[in-house]
Chains A and B, each alone.
Chain A
Amino acid sequence: MGNNAIARGAIEAGVKVVAGYPGTPSSEILSTIARDAKKYGMHVEWSTNEKVAYEVAYGAALSGVRALMTTKHLGVNVLSDALLVSAYTGVNGGLVIVTADDIHPFSSQNAEDTRYYAKLSKIPCIEPSNVQEAKDMIPEAFEISEELQLPVLFRVTDRICHAKSDVIQGEIKQSMVKASFTKEDPRYVMIAPNARKRVEWLNQQIDKAASLSENFPENHAVYSESGTLGVIASGVPYEHTKEALDVLGLTDRVSVLKLTFTYPLPKQKIVEFLRKHKHVLMAEEIEPIIETQVNSIAHQLGFDTVVHGRLDGYVPREHELTPERIGESIARILILDDPNIKVPSFKAPEVIRRIPNLCAGCPHAASYYALKIARRKMGGGGAVTGDRGCYNQGTNPPLSAIDTCVCMGASISMASGLSHAGVEGPIVAVIGDSTFLHNGVQPLINAVHNKADITVMILDNGWTGMTGHQPNPNTGINVLGEPAPKVSIEQLVEACGVEHLQVVSPYNVDETVGAIVSAIQHQGPAVIVCRQVCPVQDNRLRRRNGERLEFTEYMVDSDQCTGCLYCVNNIGCPALDVVDGKVTINPAQCIGCGVCAQICPTQAIKEIEK
Chain B
Amino acid sequence: MSFNLIITGIGGQGVVSAGTIIAEAALKDGLKIRNSDATGLAQRGGSVHSEIKIGEDVKSTILHPGTADVILGFEPLEASRYAHLLKPDGIAIINSKPVLPVTVKNGMMKYPLIDELKNIFEERNLQNIWIDALEVCERLGNIRVLNSLMIGYLAARAKLPIKLETLKETIMSNVPKRTIELNLKAFDLGLLQGRQK
Contacts and interface: CB of A to CB of B under 8 A. Distances in A.
A271 B52 CA distance: 38
B34 A242 contact: no
B128 interface: no
B185 interface: no
B69 interface: no
B33 A166 contact: yes
Contact of A323 (B35, B64, B82, B106): B64
B103 A397 contact: yes
B160 interface: no
B106 A347 contact: no
Of residues A236, A243, A390, A397, which shows the largest number of chain B Cβ atoms within 10 Å of its Cβ? A243
A344 B64 CA distance: 11
A243 B64 contact: yes
B44 A356 contact: yes
Contact of B112 (A323, A352, A355, A572): A352
A164 B21 CA distance: 12
Interface string B34-59: 11111111011111000000000011
B105 interface: yes
B130 to A, nearest CB: 16
A346 interface: yes
A585 to B, nearest CB: 13
B125 to A, nearest CB: 15
A159 B38 CA distance: 9
A359 interface: yes
Contacts of A36: none
Contacts of B109: 352
Nearest to A565: B106
Interface in A332-376: 344, 346-349, 351-352, 354-359
Given A164-B23, A351-B77, A359 B43 contact: yes
Interface in B52-85: 58-67, 77-78, 80-84
Contacts of B104: 352
Given A159-B62, A239-B60, A393 B44 contact: yes
Nearest to B124: A349
B136 interface: no
Contacts of A247: 64, 67
A165 B35 contact: yes
B172 interface: no
Given A244-B64, A354-B77, A357-B102, A398 B23 contact: no
B171 interface: no
Which of B46, B111, B143 neighbours the largest number of chain A CB atoms within 10 Å of its CB? B46
A163 B36 contact: yes
B60 A354 contact: no
B129 interface: no
Q: Which of A159, A354, A355, A398 has the most CB of B within 10 A?
A: A354
A355 B103 contact: yes
A498 B39 CA distance: 40
B43 A536 contact: yes
Contacts of B97: none
B77 A165 contact: no
Contacts of A166: 27, 32-33
B95 interface: no
A163 B51 CA distance: 9
A267 B67 CA distance: 37
B83 A349 contact: yes
Q: Which of B64, B83, B104 has the most CB of A within 10 A?
A: B64
Most buried by A among B44, B81, B83, B117: B44
Contacts of A163: 34-37, 61
Nearest to B63: A323
A568 B102 CA distance: 8
A107 interface: yes
A106 B61 contact: no
Given A164-B35, A239-B59, A354 B47 contact: yes
- Among B35, B65, B81, B111, residue most surrounded by chain A Cβ atoms (within 10 Å): B65
Given A165-B61, A324-B65, A390 B44 contact: yes
Contact of A107 (B41, B102, B110): B41
Nearest to B46: A356
Given A347-B84, A357-B45, A536-B43, A322 B62 contact: yes
B106 A568 contact: yes
A576 B80 CA distance: 25
Nearest to A574: B45
B122 to A, nearest CB: 12
B182 interface: no
A322 B102 CA distance: 31
A578 interface: yes
Given A243-B59, A356-B44, A349 B111 contact: no
11 contacts: A163-B36, A236-B60, A322-B64, A324-B65, A348-B84, A349-B83, A352-B104, A352-B112, A356-B11, A356-B46, A357-B45
Closest 6 CB pairs of A and B: A346-B65, A356-B46, A243-B60, A164-B35, A356-B44, A163-B61
Interface of B: 10-11, 20, 23, 27, 32-41, 43-47, 58-67, 77-78, 80-84, 100-112, 117, 120, 143
Interface of A: 24, 106-107, 130, 159, 162-166, 236, 239-240, 242-244, 246-247, 322-324, 327, 344, 346-349, 351-352, 354-359, 390, 393, 397-398, 536, 565, 568-569, 572, 574, 576-578, 588
Given A162-B36, A355-B46, 10 more contacts: A163-B36, A164-B33, A239-B59, A243-B64, A246-B59, A327-B64, A346-B66, A352-B109, A354-B10, A357-B44
